[in-house]
């Protein structure tokens, strides 16, 4: 048997044994999609403040006068695409209505403002969090801009002249004397959130977790059962045995990474960016590191339980410090610096 055929034989045998374990299969194929969905859904409220993309806003305009229309124009300037309640798809009886951003402009909105009476706008967002706060800030900005337009337009009126649509309409298209240009300082356009953060972070964490638990425990078990001593009596060299054990666990890492990549791409529509070959190269290097750590832990641990416990503890600590659970950009500066020195980071 040739040198590399021996390595392939040992690697294939170890991979088959690993895939027969129910706990390994659970962490390989069942838990990643659950974590993808749960963490991605919980953290999808991130805000892209530098985004120039409009978001949908259902506006129920009960006013039907010129200031209600002027407010809608200001909302469009603040990156809202306005639709009407009647434009929503009809919901069948018994089905839950889709969740939307909705702003209600009250009846007599124009009349009450002209009479200098307080009016209240009603806004219903998606949920609490940064995204909802950002929507609310833009709506408030539009409302206060309308108030500013009214003040300026009123000051330009002749005595006895009433405020009308013609007095405030030019302000919408007027050129601002000053502007603020905001752009990112690097290639990244925004802080990752939702599935963009959860899928890569969970992939990194689970690859390390599976290798430091299943991969290390298998080696401890082989030591306890004297299987490594039996291998020493075969015509295989020590280098072939070590390489075969390493390759088998590396194959397990590639199964984990490959499944996560396919699941993220097709089930969760993950965008891996413009440098996918480099992403794959980094993931291959990450799998190689996890494999080597698994062999190290499997060689030092005194029992399979100890290997699993140390593996889980190490994975949780490194995942938290490396930014696998949340975007590291939101952490304090000292944590962002520390992350650079962790393999998960």
Tell me the pLDDT band of 214, cut-offs 50, 70 and 90: very high
Query: Residue 264: is its pLDDT beyond 50?
Result: yes
Tell me the pLDDT band of 89, cut-offs 50, 70 and 90: low
> Can you tell me which residue has the tokens 């706008």?
121
pLDDT (tens digit per residue) in 93-128: 455 556 788 999 999 999 999 999 999 999 998 766
For residue 188, the model assigns a pLDDT of: 57
pLDDT (tens digit per residue) in 298-323: 999 999 999 999 999 999 999 999 98
> Can you tell me which residue has the tokens 């290390």?
216
Query: Residue 59: is its pLDDT beyond 60?
Result: yes
Tokens found for residue 335: 């944590």
Tell me the pLDDT band of 51, cut-offs 50, 70 and 90: low
Q: In what order do the strands lie in the sheet with 55-61?
A: 80-83, 55-61, 102-105, 122-124
Tell me the pLDDT band of 49, cut-offs 50, 70 and 90: very low
Q: Which of 344, 327, 41 is nearest to 190 (CA)?
A: 327
Q: Which of 167, 124, 123 is nearest to 142 (CA)?
A: 123
Tell me the pLDDT band of 47, cut-offs 50, 70 and 90: very low
Task: Give the rounded distance of the alpha carbon of 277 from its chain centre.
Answer: 21
For residue 78, give every residue at least 6 positions away whose Cβ sits within 8 Å of its Cβ, in sequence order, or none: 138, 139, 141, 142
Q: Between β-strands 122-124 and 55-61, what pairing exists: parallel, antiparallel or unpaired?
A: unpaired
Tokens found for residue 110: 């124009």
Domain boundaries, the chain: 3-45+191-339, 55-173
For residue 3, the model assigns a pLDDT of: 87
55-173 CATH: 3.40.1710
Tokens found for residue 37: 């969905």
Query: Residue 282: is its pLDDT beyond 90?
Result: yes
> Can you tell me which residue has the tokens 């603040």?
78
**pTM for this entry:** 0.61
């Amino acid at each position: 048997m040739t040198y590399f055929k021996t390595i392939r034989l040992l690697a294939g045998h170890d991979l088959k044994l690993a895939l027969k374990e129910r706990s390994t299969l659970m962490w390989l194929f069942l838990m990643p999609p659950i974590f993808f969905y749960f963490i991605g859904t919980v953290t999808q409220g991130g805000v892209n403040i530098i985004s120039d993309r409009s978001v949908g806003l259902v506006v129920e305009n009960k006013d039907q006068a010129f200031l209600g229309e002027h407010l809608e124009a200001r909302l469009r300037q603040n990156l809202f695409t306005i639709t009407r309640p009647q434009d929503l798809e009809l919901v069948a009886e018994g089905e839950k209505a889709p969740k939307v951003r909705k702003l209600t402009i009250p009846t007599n909105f124009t009349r009450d403002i002209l009479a200098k009476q307080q009016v209240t706008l009603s806004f219903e967002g998606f949920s609490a969090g940064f995204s909802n706060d950002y929507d609310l800030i833009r709506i408030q900005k539009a409302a206060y801009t309308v108030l500013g337009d009214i003040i300026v337009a009123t000051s330009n009126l002749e005595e006895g002249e009433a405020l009308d649509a013609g007095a405030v309409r030019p302000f919408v298209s007027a050129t601002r004397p000053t502007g603020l240009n905001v752009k990112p300082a690097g290639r990244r356009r925004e802080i990752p959130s939702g599935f963009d953060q959860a899928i890569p972070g969970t992939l990194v964490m689970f690859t390390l977790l599976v290798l430091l638990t299943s991969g290390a425990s298998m080696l401890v078990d082989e030591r306890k059962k004297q299987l490594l001593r039996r291998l020493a009596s075969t015509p295989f060299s020590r280098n072939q045995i070590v390489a075969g054990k390493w390759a088998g666990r590396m194959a397990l890492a590639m199964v984990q990474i490959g499944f996560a990549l396919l699941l993220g791409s097709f089930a969760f529509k993950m965008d891996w960016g413009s440098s996918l070959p480099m992403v794959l190269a980094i993931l291959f290097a990450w799998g190689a590191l996890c494999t080597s750590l698994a062999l190290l832990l499997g060689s030092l641990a005194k029992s399979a339980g100890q290997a699993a416990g140390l593996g889980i503890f190490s994975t949780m600590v490194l995942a938290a410090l490396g930014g696998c659970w949340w975007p590291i950009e939101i952490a304090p500066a000292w944590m962002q610096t520390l992350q650079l020195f962790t393999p998960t980071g």
